[in-house]
Amino acid sequence: MRKYLQKALSLVLCAAALLGTLYFVDMPDVSAADPVVIVIDPGHGGKNLGTDYLPIPEKNYTMLVALYMKEQLEKYQNVKVYLTHSEDIDMSLEERAEFARQVDADFLFSLHFNMSLPHTLYGSEIWIPSTGTLYTRGYSAGYEFLTQFTEMGLFNRGIKTRIGSKGDYYGIIRECTARNIPAIIVEHCHVDHINDIGYMQSAELLKEFGVRDAEAVARYFGLTSRDGTVSYRDYAPLAIPTPAARVYNDTTPPDYVNARLVNYDKTGKYATVQLGAADSQSLLQYYAYSTDGGLTWSPFLPWDRTKETMTITVNMGYGSKSSLIFKVSNIYDRETQSNVLSLNG
C-alpha cells in the first residue's frame, strides 16, 4: 500500500513538473512569482520642506505625486508598493533606505522637484548610483522616467551621477547603495522657472507626473496590468554595460565654444551666427547669449544635442550694442564662453 502510494505520488509529481514546465513556458503565472517590491520615497517631509520657492513647499508636491504613483502602480499585477512615509514627518535618508531594506525592496524611487539658485535652469533630471549594476539599473530606469517627461514636453537634463567625499553625493543613493538597493532621485521639473511652472500649477499635470512615474516603473519591470489590457512583458528597457569602475560626474566645462558671424542685417539688427561647441566628457545642454559683454544673459535655450554647430539668429535690439558673446553649458551645468563678436554699424 505504501509502495503504491509512493509510486502514485511520484507519477503525480512527474506530471506536475511536466505540466508546470509547459505552463511556465507558454504563460508565466506572474501572480505565483515573487512580487516586485517598489518603494516610493516622497522627498522631504516634516520640518524638511524641500525647496520653498513657491507658496506650497516641495514636500507637499512630492507626497501628492507619490500617492498618484502608488495608486497607478497598484493597477499592475505582481507588484507590492510601499511609501517610505505617508504622514508629514521628518525622516532621515538612512531611515528611508533602512525601510526599503526591511521590505526587501527591488528599487527605491525618491521623488523631488528642483530649483536652481540663479533660477535659470529648467527641465527634468535623474540622479543615479555611480557603481556596478546599481548604476546600470539606475540608468535604465532613469531613462524610462525621462522618456515619460519629455513626452509631457519637459526638457531632458540627463541621467547623472554625483560623487562626494563619502562616495555617492546624495544621501538616499549612498544609503541605498550601502544596502545594495538600486535607488534613483527623480527631479520632475524646476519650480522656479517659467518653462516648468505650469506643471506645478496644474492639478491634472501633477497627477500625470504620478501616472507617468508609474508607467516608467511598469515598463522597466515589464509589468502587466491587473485587467490584462496593458502589458510590458515583452518591452525591453535600455540596456547598458556594467561599468568596471565608479562613474564620475563631469567637473569640467565644455572643451570649446566658437562663434562665427555669418551675417549681420544692420537695418533689423539681426546677427546670424554659427555657434560651434564640443565636450568630450558629457552632453551639451543649453546655450545663452549676451549683448552687453556678459553682464546680463538671455534665458538658456536648448542646445541641439544631435549637432556640434548651431546656426543662431540674435536680435541686437535698440541702441548701440555692438558686441555679442555666447556661452554653452553641459548637462552638469558647467559653462564655456565663446569669443566676442564685434558688430559694426
What count of Cα atoms within 13 Å lies in the side-chain half-sphere of residue 163? Answer: 11
138 contacts Zn ion (rule: CB under 5 A): no
Site string for Zn ion, 217-236 (x = CB under 5 A): --------------------
Q: List the one residue from 50, 123, 142, 210 that touches Zn ion (CB under 5 A).
A: 50
Cell triple for 44: 522631504
300 neighbors 264 (Cβ within 8 angstroms): no
190 contacts Zn ion (rule: CB under 5 A): no
Q: Smaller CB distance to Zn ion: residue 76 or 109? A: 109
DSSP 182-234: -EEEEEEEETT-TTTHHHHS-HHHHHHHHHHHHHHHHHHHT-BBTTSS-B-TT
The CB density around residue 203, as the number of other CB atoms within 10 Å, is: 8
Chain residue whose CB lies nearest Zn ion: 112
Q: Smaller CB distance to Zn ion: residue 67 or 283? A: 67
Shortest approach of Zn ion to residue 180 CB, angstroms?
Answer: 24
CA distance 301 to 310: 12
CA distance 177 to 221: 20
What count of Cα atoms within 13 Å lies in the side-chain half-sphere of residue 202? Answer: 11
174 neighbors 168 (Cβ within 8 angstroms): yes
Shortest approach of Zn ion to residue 39 CB, angstroms?
Answer: 17
Q: How far is CA 67 from each of CA 60, 84, 166, rounded to the nearest angstrom? A: 11, 11, 32
Binding residues with Zn ion: total (CB under 5 A): 3
Site string for Zn ion, 92-131 (x = CB under 5 A): --------------------x-------------------
254 contacts Zn ion (rule: CB under 5 A): no
210 contacts Zn ion (rule: CB under 5 A): no
Q: Smaller CB distance to Zn ion: residue 191 or 324? A: 191
Q: Smaller CB distance to Zn ion: residue 43 or 210? A: 43
Q: List the one residue from 43, 123, 129, 182 that touches Zn ion (CB under 5 A).
A: 43
142 contacts Zn ion (rule: CB under 5 A): no
57 contacts Zn ion (rule: CB under 5 A): no
For residue 309, list its beta bridge partners: 276
**Would you tell me which residues interact with Zn ion (CB under 5 A)?**
43, 50, 112
